[in-house]
Amino acid sequence: MNDGSKTQLVRLGKTQIDAMFARQDEGPAIDDSEFLPLVEIVLTAFEAIDRAGAAELWDHAHAVYDLMCKDAEPESTADENRQLMQSYLLGDRRLD
């Protein structure tokens, strides 16, 4: 994949992630245990196209989730929020 295509793919992915989280934030929200697997499905599709770009998208999704968590619980840390997000995933990135 050339750099231009990768840049466009990552931009598309970030836009899609932002839209999903914005919709979740605007409500009516679904439980994270149902929402985050949907995010995982989208990001897994990007992994099939470009693993490096998908890694950047996962980082972006974690950052957006971290911001949402900090709105709800300001004292939470980025590490705690990443682990919380991963606890809701169903695939390889799930933390038990």
> Which residue type does 49 have?
I
Give the tokens for residue 34.
């149902």
| 8 Å CB contact between 86 and 95 | yes
Residue 92 lies in a domain: no
List the domain range (segments joined by +) for residue 50: 3-87
Number of domains, the chain: 1
Helices 78-87 and 32-49 cross at an angle (nearest 10°) of: 90
Cα–Cα distance for residue pair 7/96, rounded to 1 Å: 33
Concatenate the DSSP letters of all residues of 7-55 into one string.
HHHHHHHHHHHHHHHHHHHHSSPPPHHHHHHHHHHHHHHHHHH-HHHHH
Whether 93 maps to a domain, the answer reads no
The angle subtended at Cα 38 by Cα 4 and Cα 91, nearest 5°, is 90
Spatial distance between the Cα atoms of 73 and 83, rounded to a whole number of angstroms = 15
**Would you state the pLDDT for residue 1?**
65
pTM of the model: 0.91
pLDDT tens-digit profile, the chain (96 residues): 677 888 899 999 999 999 999 999 998 889 999 999 999 999 999 999 998 899 999 999 999 999 999 999 999 999 999 999 999 999 988 876
Residue 94 forms part of a structural domain: no
- The answer to the question of residue 41 being in a domain is yes
